[in-house]
A and B are shown apart, each in its own frame.
Chain A
Amino acid sequence: MLSEFLQYLFTGITIGATYALIALGFTLIYNASHVINFAQGEFLMIGGMTTVSLTGMGVPMPLAIVLAVLLAGVFGILLQRFAIAPAKQADVVTLIIITIGASIFIRGLAQLVWGKEYHVMPNFSRDEPIRIFGAVLNSQSLWVLGVGAVLVVALVLFFTRTLIGKAILATSMNKQAARLVGIRTQLVLMLAFMVSALLGSIAGVVVAPITFTSYDIGIMLGLKGFVAAAIGGLGSGVGAVVGGLLLGVVEAMTAGYVSSDYKDAVAFSMILVVLFFMPRGLFGAKVVERV
């Protein structure tokens, strides 16, 4: 009993940590530009796929990972510069469609380069799985959790201690005021997209040994990240992490105790329930409409 429960919990927390990282990427871009980036999942795909193909070409894994993450960062910048920035007057829905167009484009490129097959990536380390009360914790899960924790701490430090981080925050709060005090908001927005892409691609790399990877893995993972972000409350960093972990655990429990066919249905029902009681998610900011 306990071992079963723990097993589901480990699975849930691992995948939840991934969702949390994707949700943080959403949050970052949402805060900086109020865009919901439907191409967020593609950053994961770029991270995972590039690493796999580079290691396949004989590049050592650490270097492959660095190159993959950098490539995703470049895509993040390009996305902001060439797809989002030129459409600044556009409607919310129009921006959604633009990012969907971008994700189809990126996925198309990936398919062109890497084909449609699933790719397997080895675990980062060959350590034996850890057993706790009969439940197995895969070494890669520890990598996911560890990297996730490090990234969250790094993000917190980035936003509270660095000038660039503070500039992003300032721009998200009031673009005009930020510009007035000399912040180059266009540059800041590009940075936000880049950091978000870096986050996403790192998540994509660490989770790839668990989920496998393919050109279209970003669709569902990206959506789950969006669900997690909305559960937590769009724009809230804490919310993104809590939402991600919650979503992962609930999914794993449903798959374990109820039916794996309906695990996604439960995830999507959860968002409806949360939004029903808290229309701005768990940690979303309350805003007063000004008239």
Chain B
Amino acid sequence: MLNRFMQSRLRGLMVLAVILFSLPVFLSNPFHYELATQMAIIAGTVVGLNLLVGFAGQISLGHAGFFGLGAYFTGIMTGHYGWSAIPALVVGAILVGLIAWIVGRPILRLKGHYLSMATLAVGFIIAIIINNERQLTGGPDGMPVPVFDVFGWELSPFGTYSLFGIELNGSEAWYLFAAAVLLVAVWLAQNLIDSPIGRALRSVHGSEVAARVVGVNTARYKSLVFVISAVYASVMGGLYAHFQGFITPAVASFDFSIVLITMVVLGGMGSTMGVILGAVVLKLLPQILTHFQEMEAVMFGLILMLTMIFMPKGLLPTLQMAVSKRLKRRAGGQQ
């Protein structure tokens, strides 16, 4: 039984790997690669956010705050203080985790709309600080971020690299790196979900009362998942900063928080592959909608509303249900 379970877990991961690594066939120019790399990094963030929202059932409308903190911490440490990227990412993640723990303890006692309000406030406060501490962050104008490096070895979108004898340009190399990071992020998230800790987290969503009477310290688990999702955001924010080479307070903005939570809900709360799809769709949609020019916002709002009204469970779960229903009907027809 357990074997079968593991196989299904691995299958999802393998499908994702195949898609990620065969995607370059369809990517023809650096702009495509840039978009795909951004998608992978943001998808990684959303996979972490989904642990909090989809599995533990706790809303966060301020997650971009943690993404922004990660991005700016890395930017400041590598840019102003000459740190190497890896230690900056790691220390940043630890700090953001700590902040999330300190903030999370009191606010996670709140429920429903009060929790969304509190997380929104936390995100806003972070964004305002980033906007106003000009000496460190460059304020609203943003700041440049040095090239990503692994203790001296640099990964630049403008370099050339070779992997197993294949020549890669910088944007291709960055894409492969981001894809690999996403795979690891998904693997870790799946490991977490399918474990005693994961069950405890999901029980907080399923029935908090049941969780408590079987001995789950719900406050601790809520804090834990809040910290984990913040660390995900921090690391991905750091990578994003290096990839872009320039960051503005938009990475920590309320708008971006809303984009992140929308990706989760649109793709399918509680479905890891679903939220990745959500990230892809929401990142692609504006690209497609630019054809509508000034109608872009109207179309975007309309599509968002209609999708959520008619597929409240999100894209992937709704698709899966439709497919399994059809399969069942077909099986029924044959009998």
Q: Which residues of A contact B (CB under 8 A)?
A: 30, 36, 83, 86-87, 89-94, 96-98, 100-109, 111-112, 223, 226-227, 230, 234, 261-262, 264-265, 268-269, 271-272, 275-276, 279-281, 289, 291
B113 on interface, CB distance cutoff 8 Å: yes
- Residue ID in chain A nearest B128 by CB atoms: A265
Q: Which residues of B contact A (CB under 8 A)?
A: 53, 59, 61, 106-107, 109-114, 116-118, 120-122, 124-125, 128-129, 131-132, 209, 254, 258, 261-262, 265-266, 269, 294-305, 308-310, 312
Cα of A289 to Cα of B111 in the assembled complex, Å:
12
Given A92-B59, A93-B269, does the pair A98, B308 have CB atoms closer than 8 Å? Answer: yes
B265 touching A94, Cβ below 8 Å: yes
Which residue from A30, A98, A226, A265 sits with its C-beta under 8 Å from B309? A98
Q: Which of chain A's residues have a CB closer than 8 A to the CB of B308?
A: 87, 90, 94, 97-98, 101
B301 touching A112, Cβ below 8 Å: no
B301 touching A101, Cβ below 8 Å: yes
Q: Which of chain B's residues have a CB closer than 8 A to the CB of A91?
A: 265, 269, 312
Q: Which of chain B's residues have a CB closer than 8 A to the CB of A269?
A: 121, 125
Cα of A105 to Cα of B300 in the assembled complex, Å:
7
Cα of A264 to Cα of B300 in the assembled complex, Å:
28
**How far apart are B134's CB and chain A's nearest CB, in angstroms?**
10
Contacts A92-B113, A268-B122 supplied; 15 other A-B pairs, CB < 8 Å: A91-B265, A92-B112, A96-B61, A97-B261, A97-B262, A105-B297, A105-B304, A106-B301, A112-B294, A261-B128, A261-B132, A264-B124, A272-B118, A275-B107, A276-B106
Given A98-B308, A104-B304, does the pair A275, B132 have CB atoms closer than 8 Å? Answer: no
Cα of A26 to Cα of B261 in the assembled complex, Å:
21
Cα of A30 to Cα of B296 in the assembled complex, Å:
30
Given A105-B301, A105-B305, does the pair A262, B128 have CB atoms closer than 8 Å? Answer: yes
- Residue ID in chain B nearest A96 by CB atoms: B116
- Residue ID in chain A nearest B106 by CB atoms: A276
A-B contact pairs, 21 of them (CB 8 A): A36-B116, A90-B309, A93-B265, A98-B304, A100-B304, A101-B303, A105-B302, A105-B305, A108-B298, A230-B114, A265-B128, A268-B120, A268-B125, A271-B121, A272-B107, A275-B110, A275-B114, A275-B117, A280-B114, A281-B114, A289-B209
Most chain B beta-carbon contacts within 10 A, residue among A104, A107, A226: A104
Cα of A30 to Cα of B312 in the assembled complex, Å:
20
A265 touching B312, Cβ below 8 Å: no
Which residue from A104, A227, A234, A272 sits with its C-beta under 8 Å from B301? A104
Cα of A279 to Cα of B112 in the assembled complex, Å:
11
Which residue from B112, B131, B209, B266 sits with its C-beta under 8 Å from A97? B266
Given A98-B308, A223-B254, does the pair A107, B121 have CB atoms closer than 8 Å? Answer: no
**How far apart are B250's CB and chain A's nearest CB, in angstroms?**
14
Cα of A90 to Cα of B312 in the assembled complex, Å:
6
Given A272-B107, A289-B209, does the pair A108, B269 have CB atoms closer than 8 Å? Answer: no
Cα of A191 to Cα of B269 in the assembled complex, Å:
32
**How far apart are B320's CB and chain A's nearest CB, in angstroms?**
17
Q: Which of chain B's residues have a CB closer than 8 A to the CB of A105?
A: 297-298, 300-302, 304-305
Given A83-B305, A97-B261, A112-B295, does the pair A104, B300 have CB atoms closer than 8 Å? Answer: yes
Cα of A226 to Cα of B116 in the assembled complex, Å:
11
**How far apart are B113's CB and chain A's nearest CB, in angstroms?**
5
**How far apart are A189's CB and chain B's nearest CB, in angstroms?**
16
Given A227-B117, A261-B132, A289-B209, does the pair A93, B53 have CB atoms closer than 8 Å? Answer: yes
Cα of A279 to Cα of B122 in the assembled complex, Å:
16
**How far apart are B124's CB and chain A's nearest CB, in angstroms?**
5
A36 touching B113, Cβ below 8 Å: yes
- Residue ID in chain A nearest B312 by CB atoms: A90
